[in-house]
Structure 1
Amino acid sequence: MGATEHGLPVTGGRETASEVWRLSRGYRLRLAAVGLLGIVSTGVDLIPPVAIGFLVDRVQTGTADLGTVLTVTAVMALSALLGAAGTAVTIVLATRVYHTILATLRERLVGRAMTLPQHRVERAGTGDLISRSSDDVTAVADAAPAVIPVLTVTAFTIVVSLGGLAALDWPYAAAFAVVLPVYALAMRWYLRTGPRVYRAERAAMSARAQQLLESQRGYATVLGFGLADQRHRAVMTNSWSVAVQALRARTVQSMLNARLNLGECLSLAAVLVVGFVLIDHGASTVGGATTAMLLVLRLLGPVNQLLFVIDTLQSALASLSRMIGVVTIPAADAADASTTPSDLATAVRLREVAFRYGDGPPVLDDIGLDIPAGQHLAVVGPSGAGKTTLAAVIAGVHRPDAGTVTRPRRTAVITQEVHVFAGTLRDNLTLAAPDATDRDLRAALDTTGAADLLDQLADALDTVVGAGGHPLTEAQAQQLALARLLLADPELAILDEATAEAGSAHAEQLDRASEAVLAGRTGIVIAHRLSQAATCDRIVVMDAGRVIETGTHDELIAAGGTYARLWAVWQAGQHTSTIR
């Protein structure tokens, strides 16, 4: 399994084939039936060339009459009808199996993607994962109309037609076989060139998707810092990269087409020359040569289609290998499994934890921490102290570069950037608890102080919110997130400035909601306001990625250290706000 340095893995040909074979389990009998039906259908399609050759010989000898013509016509019409019907049924059956297997693969892709640890997705780039679950799925699905008829019909046509040529007169088959190296060389060239070009095209699409996603997600930052032109140039640069790679892919297609045309000309010329020689020596008839030419003409189309569709097939396989690369990520990597400490009295335990982003400076350095079960811990410190990173490491979003982290299996995190999904209010809440009743949902909203939200919505829980629906304020969105957490009922709840709503009008209400949510469970609060920290059982003060103080609010105030100074500044700020 290959991968870029930081990207998600891409499987090789053998691994892709093995996974597709596993996915076909339960459909193999149906696939065998498709193959048998395809061979029979193409066998029936050999009747018209043979019938025309027979008619030519009868005409040449003067023994053909109206009955002969009518009989040959009827046989050709019947064989064409049966062959078309068999081909249609073959394609329909093959398409159903194809899309069923693709649907299974898509479900597994989404299921595995949802269990990937966030640190791995962020390192690879969210655009990569989105591209695999959208562009690549579309590429594989769109390949069906071109690939299925070829693989289920033309491959059989080639085999059966070659057998018919050999049965008619082996020199005709030999003449066609002599030209096959031209097709083999074309295929060899294409297999060396095509996959690399298509992988580059897909990688460029992933990079473009990443740029677009970052620009959309960071819209406010882009506007705030005047980065619109810079982001526009970045998107345009990646878009042009996609265009360049697409042009390279289309050039490869044109070069393949030229090689196929050469093979077609040589094939016709070889069979014509052999037919002339055989007829001249009395070893074949004009009817036989006619049949051979019709069989070769019948072969040229499928041969060209089979080789040229490899262009589409290679593009689809490049996408398929990227999809399967995600599906086959080992379960140990897909789920950053947490374990419950053997000492049930301790919910979270950190030992000598260190972390840095990429090659940057250490963000966490030698962190050691124990959080007893049921305790509420506040983490405070100046901006850049490592508070959010510590929360992410404890939650499993990031893996520590050194040290160990132990936490409960059922851990939930709420950050300041909460998301309202497009859908009903009920759908947004039941994401956390699919089996929750309406009574449970209303109770969760009531506990988080959002009960009055239902009175504002025309259809109560059935009101569509989020994009295209009823807009929620930032405070309401945070209350919704807290209600989700309450319904999920985790053992450990981490609130990373989850109540640091833009305006302060609802601050007290949100603080009460967070206290209600944390009741009865272990909680970690990355405190935006020191009033939140003061209500917690214990406070950890961080600076420059290290824990510099720990204790209760009263203990830290009495110590007169960093926390005491932060508290004094906080109090002064609150006093100033009150005077104003």
Structure 2
Amino acid sequence: MSQVSAALPVASGRETAREVWRLSRGHRLRLVTVGVLGVASTAVNLIPPIIIGFLVDRVRAGTADAGTVLVVAAAMVLSAILGAAGTAVTIVLATRVYHTILAGLREQLVRRAMTLPQHLVERAGTGDLISRTSDDVTAVADAAPAVIPALTVTAFTIVVSLGGLAALEWPYAVAFAVVLPVYVLVMRWYLRIGPRVYGAERAAMSARAQQILESQRGYATVLGLGLTEQRHRSVLDASWGVAVWTLRARVVQAMLSLRLNFGECLSLATVLVIGFVLIDSGASTVGAATAAMLLVLRLLGPINELVFVVDDLQSALASLSRMIGVATIPAEADEPAATAGAGVAVRLNDVAFRYGDGPRLFDNLVLDIPAGQRTAVVGSSGAGKTTLAAVIAGIHLPEDGTVARPGRTTLITQETHVFAGSLRDNLTLGAPAASDDDIQAALDATGAAGLLDLLPDGLNTTIGTGGYPLTDAQAQQLALTRLLLADPELAILDEATAEAGSTHAGLLDRAADAVLDGRTGLVIAHRLSQAATCDRIVVMEHGRIIENGTHDELVAAGGVYGELWSAWEAGRNMNNKAGRTGS
């Protein structure tokens, strides 16, 4: 698979065709039936032009009567009914097969998207994945009304009509065949330009989705840092990029129309000239020439329709290749969970990491986290704490070195998401087999049982978008309870209690203690009171571990942590005095 930059892979044409052929397994008999019905209904539709030519010759010879006209009219009506019925059945069968195959691909896409390694999604940007599972799926599905009639009926019409021309008078078929290279050249031009334009248009849509998503997710940061205008310009620039490529696509369509009009004029002129020559030499009749012209006119519409459908088809194929690119990412892309050895849950050995082409944030980082112990990571902003958590969780892959961690590792950050659905569904995402008793026990352990008393329908209450609104503290309690039910071997809390404010800090700290009890825990602490309760403390600075030990050991050593703790204690004492004075 080809891949642009850090984007998710895009399947090549051969890979796309191979995957569609695989998905068609079990539907191929119906596809053959579609082909047979398409040829038969198209052949029936050739009757009107031929019988009109027959009538013209009878009229010129003076042998036509009322019976001849009635026979011709009856034949035309019967052919129209049979042709329409055959065409309708062909389109219905083709549509059912198309959407069945598309449904299978969509399920495969969603299944693979939900199990993609997090580092792939983070590196490509979630906007890319969202665009493929929304915009691209819509583009492929919306192409059905235009693509299916063309590929199931129009192609048959072209093939059968050329055969009819050859059977009528072979020079007419030769004359039209001489013009076909014009359409071939038009198609070659379009296929050289169209896929690139539509692929760029889809990529621009992904970039726009990423900008919008980042602005929504970072809404609080955008407001807090006064970045509203900057983010507005970023979204506008990305949207303008989509508009530019969309306009280029429309220009390609206009140029395609001009070339097709030229092909039509050339086709009609060629057949007329050949008809005149044949009639003048006595090798054909006016009726045969009339039938040939009607057949050519029947051909021009389908040919133009097929070419314009290729326009829709190219857009759909660009989206289809992007969908298949994600759906067929091999399972080997998932990093297998390694074991760190007896008594050690996490082991980082000479780990190096950088973001993109930037400088290394970590270089030869070494860290062991003993099994069953709770380790806190502290340091100033930008020290590398969150990056360390992401590397241990497997969201980011190290550039060098190895990371060993338990197979069941769960990361919770301060960005807690509440899914639209019932409270029960939200809590059992990681433990679908959990019973209501299990949920109640977990809520009791995290101190969130009181939440049930506030919800009108208990566990069945709809929360999230359009449902009962939860406060930040309640959402974080939900996330911690969800983790407790999932029962991971390693729980990573990346400032998971930071958003609730000091009012609920104690409550959430107790919930975090319950979640980490009896399991290996890594806590990215923003309050030193959290770090003090952990078994070990790791102090980071500029991507390096500068201190490592227990709270008492580090305070006694009088190093960086000791200074941080002294400042923390002084600030807390000052706040306490201010509180007593105010009271």
CA shift, 1:83, in A, is 0.8
SS at match of 2:234: helix
Once the two structures are TM-superposed, the CA of residue 117 in structure 1 deviates from its matched residue by: 2.4
1:369-408 alignment, distance < 5 Å: 369-408=367-406
The residue that corresponds to 1:149 in the other structure is 149
Matched residue, 1:219: 219
TM-score by length of structure 2 reads 0.97
The CA deviation at 1:360 is 2.5
Mapped partners of 1:506, 1:225: distance in 2? 25
Normalising by structure 1, we get a TM-score of: 0.97
Q: Which residue of 1 aligns with 2:27?
A: 27
**Structure 2 equivalent of residue 331 of structure 1:** 331
Q: What amino acid does structure 2 have at the position aligned with 1:118?
A: Q
Aligned partner letter, 1:267: S
Give the Cα separation in 1 of the matches to 2:434 and 2:29. 42
Structure-2 residue corresponding to 1:356: 354
Matches within 5 A, 1:230-249: 230-249=230-249
1:50 aligns with 2:50: yes
Which of residues 483, 487, 490 is equivalent to 1:489? 487
How far apart are the structure 1 equivalents of 2:229 and 2:549?
Answer: 48
- 2:415 matched residue in structure 1: 417
Q: Secondary structure at the match of 1:517?
A: helix
SS at match of 1:377: strand
- The whole-number CA distance in structure 1 between the counterparts of 2:47 and 2:112 is 51
In the alignment, the residues of structure 2 paired with residue 141 and residue 376 of structure 1 have an alpha-carbon distance, to the nearest angstrom, of 50
The 5-angstrom pairing of residues 116-131 of structure 1 reads: 116-131=116-131
| Structure 1 position 558, deviation (Å) | 2.3
- Residue 94 of structure 1: aligned partner: 94
Whole-angstrom distance in 1 between the partners of 2:269 and 2:126: 55
Contact 2:122 2:395 in 1 (8 A): no
Moved more, 6-15 or 177-186: 6-15
1:185 maps to a residue whose letter is: L
Take 1:419 and 1:161, find their aligned partners in 2: how far apart are those partners?
A: 60
| Contact 1:411-1:492 within 8 A present in 2 as well | yes
Note the C-alpha offset of 1:337: 2.4
Show CA shifts across 1:492-518 (max 9, x none): 111111122341111111111111111
Q: Which one of 524, 533, 539 corresponds to residue 531 of structure 2?
A: 533
Tell me the equivalent position of 1:277.
277
Q: What residue identity is the alignment partner of 2:338?
A: T
Deviation of 1:523 (Å): 0.9
Question: What are the equivalent positions in structure 2 for 1:38-77 lying under 5 Å apart?
Answer: 38-77=38-77
- Asked whether the equivalents of residues 455 and 461 of structure 2 are also in contact (C-alpha less than 8 Å), the reply is yes
CA contact (8 A) 2:338 2:403 kept: no
C-alpha separation in 1, matches of 2:59 and 2:539: 103
**CA displacement 1:209-258 (0-9 Å, x = unmatched):** 11111111111122222222222222222222211111111111011111
Q: 1:460 aligns with which of 437, 458, 468?
A: 458
Moved over 3 A (4+): none
Aligned to 2:339: 340
Percent identity, aligned pairs only, is 75
Provide the C-alpha distance between the structure 1 equivalents of 2:536 and 2:232, rounded to a whole number of angstroms: 47
- How far residue 479 of structure 1 moved from its aligned partner, in angstroms, is 0.5
The Cα offsets for residues 309-367 of structure 1, whole Å up to 9 and x where unpaired, read as: 1111111111111111112222222x2321233x2422111111121212323322322
Q: Distance in 1 between matches of 2:233 and 2:562?
A: 48
Once residues 208 and 451 of structure 1 are traced to their aligned partners in structure 2, the CA distance between those partners, rounded to angstroms, is 42
- Contact 1:501/1:507 (8 A) holds in 2: no
**Partner deviation per Cα, 1:81-110 (whole Å, 9 max, x = no partner):** 111111111111111111111111112222
189-198 or 151-160, larger mean C-alpha shift: 189-198
Q: Which residue of 2 aligns with 1:514?
A: 512
TM-fit CA distance, 1:390:
0.8
Which moves more between the two structures, 48-57 or 259-268? 48-57
Match of 2:566 in 1: 568
- Per mean C-alpha deviation after superposition, the further-off stretch among 392-401 and 343-352 is 343-352
* Structure 1: unaligned runs, 5 residues or longer: none
CA RMSD of aligned residues (A): 1.4
Distance 1:510 1:138 in 2: 42
* C-alpha separation in 2, matches of 1:416 and 1:207: 26
TM-superposition CA deviations, 1:433-471 (whole Å, max 9, x none)? 122222222222121111000100111111111122211
1:120-177 per-position Cα deviation (integer Å, ceiling 9, x unaligned):
2222222211111111111111111111100000000100010111011100101111
Please list every run of 5 or more consecutive structure 2 residues that lacks an aligned counterpart in the other structure: 579-583
Name the SS of the counterpart of 2:502 in structure 1: coil
Instruction: After TM superposition, give the deviation of residue 46 of structure 1 in Å.
Output: 1.1
Letter in 2 for 1:488: A
Shift of 1:36: 1.0
Please list the CA deviations of residues 184-222 of structure 1 after superposition, one character each: whole Å capped at 9, or x if unmatched.
111111111111111121122122111111111111122
What is the rounded CA distance, in whole Å, between the counterparts of 1:571 and 1:117 in structure 2?
A: 41
Note the 1:144-293 alignment, pairs <5 A.
Answer: 144-293=144-293
Letter in 2 for 1:462: N
Task: State the SS of the aligned residue for 1:134.
Answer: helix
- Kept in 1, the 8 Å contact 2:379–2:540? The answer is yes
How far apart are the structure 2 equivalents of 1:382 and 1:256?
60
Q: Which amino acid aligns with 1:365?
A: D
Tell me the residue number matched to 1:448.
446
Distance 1:220 1:199 in 2: 34
Deviations 1:261-312 (A, max 9, x none): 1111111111111112212222112221111111111111111111121111
141-150 or 233-242, larger mean C-alpha shift: 233-242
Q: Tell me by how many angstroms 1:538 deviates.
A: 1.6
Q: Which residue of 2 aligns with 1:524?
A: 522
Number of equivalenced pairs: 578
Q: Does the 8 A contact of 2:509 with 2:530 survive in 1?
A: yes
Deviates further, 114-123 or 448-457? 114-123
Q: Provide the C-alpha distance between the structure 1 equivalents of 2:300 and 2:120, rounded to a whole number of angstroms.
A: 49
Q: Distance in 1 between matches of 2:538 and 2:114?
A: 32
Q: SS where residue 10 of structure 1 aligns?
A: coil
